[in-house]
Chain A
Amino acid sequence: MSKFIFGRYLPLNSVVHRLDPRAKLMLSFCYIILVFLANNPLSYVILIALTVGSILASKISLGFFLRGIRPLLWLIVFTVVLQLLFSPVGGHTYFHWAFINISQFGVINAGYIFIRFLLIIMMSTLLTLSTQPLDIATGLASLMKPLRWLHVPVDTLAMMLSIALRFVPTLMDEATKIMNAQRARGVDFGEGGLFKQAKALIPLLVPLFMSAFNRAEDLSTAMEARGYQDSEHRSQYRILTWQKRDTVTWILFLIGFAAILACRRW
């Protein structure tokens, strides 16, 4: 569990960490769309350059990064193999047996899927590694502001999101503690048959839910005690401001995006 870095934050001091979370969110979003629009080797080279460049700028070591996403590799390999074996006939056929069909078309497609998967995982991991959960919530809230016109309770949603994100690490720690306590009482987590494993989860989940509910209750009491009112217009302690580094990043990425669109096969 501790080797799994997807969705975690890594406190470092780099340009990427200090970027405006709104910029990071929007660029990541555009990036993902571009990943699906890219369809020839040159456009992928540009995407890879953008990705590797961003990782290097974040000061997170490339080795740590690759080791961290290794657990997800099986998922990618699984998808790629499916694509490889069962894609429609096209181009030269290398191998054919019953319904399995490896064709030139399939190989190329599988290659693209592999790269797309990898790139998206790398970029979104970079986003969470370099942005505090609370900043992601603030950024999202700020981006959702126009929805106020449609009477979407943006502030309440943002508050819910930031509370949820805030308590993820707390609950993870809590889960580790409870697991240790139950292991000390002779529970083997992740061993034995499926039924036994599922049964071993009860001593973990019951206390975890108890503690989550207690925490939620304490938190709501504490918020009410300090006069929290729903759907009030709220000011913010940390105000996001546009910086020069945001402009530079936008320009670099937009150049990259334009290059991809220009050289993609239309």
Chain B
Amino acid sequence: MAIAFEHVTYTYQAGTPMAHTAVEDVSFQVPDHGYLAIIGHTGSGKSTLIQQLNALYKPSAGTIHVDDFTVTPETTNAALKPLRQHVGMVFQFPESQLFEETIRQDIAFGPKNFGMSEADANALADEMLTTVGLDASYADRSPFELSGGQMRRVAIAGVLAMKPQVLVLDEPTAGLDPQGRQAMMELFERLHREQGLTIVLVTHQMEDVAQYAEQVAVMREGKLIKFGTPTDVFADPDWLRANQLDVPRAAQFAQQLRQRGLTWDTLPLTADQLADQIAARWPAKGADHV
């Protein structure tokens, strides 16, 4: 198991009249090299949940296993540094974490904190810069001269440079242009496939969930209300809508077709799956158009 949550509860400002339980009794497991998407209405506790993964917030109750690490309410801060390197965390709007004079220094900041030499870290920074799709010539520029989307890429490069084994992404594509979004999602998919990174993705994009995730967790008011494969979770659109969520567009379309009398073996979730299934149905007539 790459990740296992056992009855994890987290309360903000515990012990005060402002106490607020943002995550309540959550249990689930993600296999090695898994790809988990977490969805849920805004304020449902997704960000709080994932920050437990590298113990930025330690659980108020329960146990978390991440590969060889175990985090409990009693875990001390001293033991956390290796975990922080193991779990790379890309926050919501990570561009606000940039601070160095040059982009290279900013990307190298994480690796250096975890004990890498200056030279190695700088070399790695240049490599990561191209990995996230920015030109190598940016390395010596100030991160504050960049556009929002470019800053996002630099911030993500800074996390990837830590060489984490688990990559946690909190709405990494919010506010990016469609092409940038797709490029980002494909980068994460590549890291997942080629380097075997375990990925935890928080997102509001049901298309991304359908296309990339192997497991889906649905949160509501701090509770995990559904956990399964995308096919399981998207099978019931009425239930999803009742929880302020939706099914991917391709699945919506497929369901509308079903109302018109078409039957599907498995509900197609992405445009590709939809096209394949439709094409399989009329092999003779439209074959050369597909």
Q: Which residues of A contact B (CB under 8 A)?
A: 2-3, 5, 10, 12, 60-61, 64, 174, 177-178, 180-188, 191, 202-203, 206-207, 210-211
Q: How far is the CB of A246 from chain B (nearest CB, A)?
A: 25
Which listed segment binds A: B90-98, B128-136, B272-280? B90-98
B113 and A186 contact, CB distance less than 8 A: yes
Measured in the bound complex, the distance between the Cα atoms of B84 and A185 in whole Å is 7
Q: Could you jot down 14 A-B contacts, CB within 8 Å?
A: A5-B16, A10-B18, A61-B17, A177-B91, A180-B91, A181-B89, A184-B159, A185-B110, A186-B85, A186-B114, A191-B77, A207-B98, A207-B99, A211-B96
Contact A184 B56 (CB under 8 A): yes
Checking A191, A203, A210 against B109 with a beta-carbon cut-off of 8 angstroms, the contacting residue is: A203
- Please provide the chain B residues from 54 to 98 with a CB less than 8 Å away from any CB of chain A in the complex: 54, 56, 77, 81, 84-85, 87-89, 91, 94, 96-98
- Assuming the contacts A202-B99, A206-B99, A211-B96, asked whether A185 and B159 have C-beta atoms less than 8 A apart, the reply is yes
**Pairwise interchain contact B96-A185, C-beta atoms closer than 8 A:** no
Number of CB contacts from chain A to chain B under 8 A: 68
Tell me, yes or no, whether B253 is within 8 Å of chain A by CB.
Answer: no
Cβ contact within 8 Å between A180 and B96: no
Contact of A181 with B18 at beta-carbon distance under 8 Å, contacts A2-B13, A203-B109 already known: no
Asked if B21 is at the interface of the complex by the 8 Å CB criterion, the answer is no
Shortest C-beta distance, B190 to chain A (Å), equals: 22
A12 to B229, CA, bound (A): 44
Nearest CB of chain A from residue B168's CB, rounded to whole Å: 9
Most buried by B among A5, A64, A186: A186
Q: Is the CB of B18 within 8 A of A186?
A: no
Counting chain B residues whose Cβ lies within 8 A of the other chain, the interface size class is 20 to 34
Q: What secondary structure prevails in chain B residues at the interface with A?
A: mixed
Known A-B contacts: A64-B16, A184-B91. Give 17 more (CB < 8 A).
A2-B12, A3-B16, A10-B18, A12-B17, A178-B97, A180-B56, A185-B158, A186-B81, A186-B84, A186-B114, A186-B162, A202-B99, A203-B99, A203-B109, A207-B96, A207-B97, A207-B99
Cα of A157 to Cα of B217 in the assembled complex, Å? 50
Which residues of B does A touch, CB under 8 Å? 12-13, 16-18, 51, 54, 56, 77, 81, 84-85, 87-89, 91, 94, 96-99, 109-110, 113-114, 144, 158-159, 162
Provide the bound-state CA to CA distance between A202 and B110, in Å: 14
A184 and B17 form a contact (CB under 8 A):
no
A178 to B51, CA, bound (A): 13
- Report the bound CA distance from A174 to B56 in whole Å: 15
Q: Is A185's CB under 8 angstroms from B113's CB?
A: yes
Contact B56 A185 (CB under 8 A): no
Give the interface centre of B91, B113, B158, B159 by most chain A CB atoms within 10 Å.
Answer: B113
Most buried by B among A191, A202, A210: A210
Bound form: Cα–Cα A210–B84 in Å: 26
Contact (A178, B18) CB under 8 Å given A186-B81, A186-B114? no
Given A177-B91, A180-B56, A180-B91, residue A185 in contact with residue B16 (CB < 8 A): no
